[in-house]
């Protein structure tokens, strides 16, 4: 099968307003109960702003005008519901072909390898943007540093994808079967690790200096079990979510604390 050549390596630029609007529109359409969450206003202005959702930075919690709270566990569950599934997501997003359709069309020879790769880049960008926007409280709370971090994370996923596209070109028979779906699912599920790893980054910026890995509701690989057994460690020293054998299938999370506050609690203060 002649799939053509893959795209040359490309470094992504920070997402523009149109791309961010697409992420927000996708969220609002597919999670109508949480419409407007990624457009939250500061919690301190809840009496003055006519907004459906507010971001409480001190507890990394979204609070709705009706009083509903969305903490980090709930937000992670929403990302999973929106972007992730055991089967490849078949939902087309505002003109972006779905993972499922990309896989089907590449196997059938209906699209070239370059077309498949471009579609994957668009889906990867959307997944990473959704995860990191959600971790930061929505678009209003993103700083220049946050946008740079997001761009770096997208670039990392692009590098993995470029290598994968070269592998397909070199041996299409090996990949154009169920193995393609299994590998593509890792990119689909990267939204969860993007969310969790940016929460970690924000915790460090907000003065947390210790972390521990908490196992998620899933089968656990040896690496995750070992990391969890280490208990509290200096923040940034444990492996990132997605670095163990289970890769992007990981459903672990981190808990954070400030060691100075822990000492006060131990002394009864």
Domain residue ranges of the chain, discontinuous segments joined by +? 17-190, 207-269
Contact (Cβ atoms closer than 8 angstroms) between residue 7 and residue 118: yes
pLDDT of 63: 97
Q: For the whole model, what pTM was predicted? A: 0.89
Reported as a single tens digit per residue, the pLDDT across 29-51 is 999 999 999 999 999 999 888 89
How far apart CA 232 and CA 241 sit, in angstroms, is 16
pLDDT of 245: 87
From the CB of residue 168, how many other CB atoms can be counted at a distance below 10 Å?
Answer: 20
Phi, psi of 177 (to 5 degrees): -155, -155
Judge whether residue 269 has pLDDT over 70.
no
Phi, psi of 126 (to 5 degrees): -65, -45
Q: Record the tokens describing residue 181, joined without a space.
A: 């779906």
Which of 232, 269, 228 has its CA nearest to residue 252?
228
pLDDT of 267: 43
Which of 190, 185, 175 has its CA nearest to residue 88?
185
pLDDT of 189: 86
pLDDT of 268: 45
Share of the chain above pLDDT 90, in %: 73
Task: Identify the band that residue 87 occupies on the pLDDT scale cut at 50, 70 and 90.
Answer: confident
Q: Give the CA distances from residue 243 to residues 37, 206, 208, in Å, rounded to whole numbers and listed in that order.
A: 29, 24, 22
Average pLDDT, the chain: 91
Kindly state the average pLDDT of the residues 240-260. 88
Share of the chain above pLDDT 70, in %: 95
pLDDT of 216: 81
Reported as a single tens digit per residue, the pLDDT across 206-234 is 899 999 999 987 678 999 999 999 999 99
Task: Name the more confident of 217 and 60.
Answer: 60
Reported as a single tens digit per residue, the pLDDT across 164-175 is 999 999 999 999
Judge whether residue 181 has pLDDT over 60.
yes
Reported as a single tens digit per residue, the pLDDT across 117-147 is 999 999 999 999 999 999 999 999 999 999 9
């Amino acid at each position: 099968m002649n799939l053509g050549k893959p795209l040359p390596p490309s470094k992504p630029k920070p997402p523009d307003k149109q791309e961010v609007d697409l992420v927000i529109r996708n969220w609002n359409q597919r999670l109508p109960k949480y419409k407007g969450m990624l457009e939250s206003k500061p919690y301190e202005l809840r009496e003055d702003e006519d907004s459906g959702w507010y971001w409480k930075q001190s507890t990394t919690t979204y609070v709705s005008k009706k009083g509903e709270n969305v903490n980090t566990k709930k937000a992670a569950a929403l990302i999973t519901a929106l972007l992730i599934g055991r089967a490849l997501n078949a939902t087309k997003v505002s003109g972006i072909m779905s993972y499922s359709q990309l896989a089907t069309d590449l196997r059938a020879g209906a699209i070239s390898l370059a077309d498949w790769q471009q579609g994957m880049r668009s889906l990867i960008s959307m997944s990473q943007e959704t995860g990191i926007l959600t971790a930061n409280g929505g678009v209003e709370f993103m700083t220049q540093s946050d946008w740079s971090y997001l761009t770096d994370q997208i670039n990392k996923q692009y590098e993995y994808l470029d290598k994968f596209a070269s592998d397909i070109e070199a041996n299409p028979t090996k990949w154009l079967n169920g193995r393609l779906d299994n590998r593509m699912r890792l990119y689909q599920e990267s939204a969860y690790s993007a969310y969790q790893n940016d929460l970690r980054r924000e915790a460090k910026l907000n003065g947390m200096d210790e972390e521990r890995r908490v196992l998620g509701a899933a089968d656990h690989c040896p690496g995750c079990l070992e990391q969890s057994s280490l208990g509290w460690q200096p923040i940034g020293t444990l492996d990132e979510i997605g670095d163990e054998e289970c890769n992007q299938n990981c459903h672990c999370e981190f808990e954070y604390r400030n060691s100075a506050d822990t000492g006060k609690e131990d002394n009864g203060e």
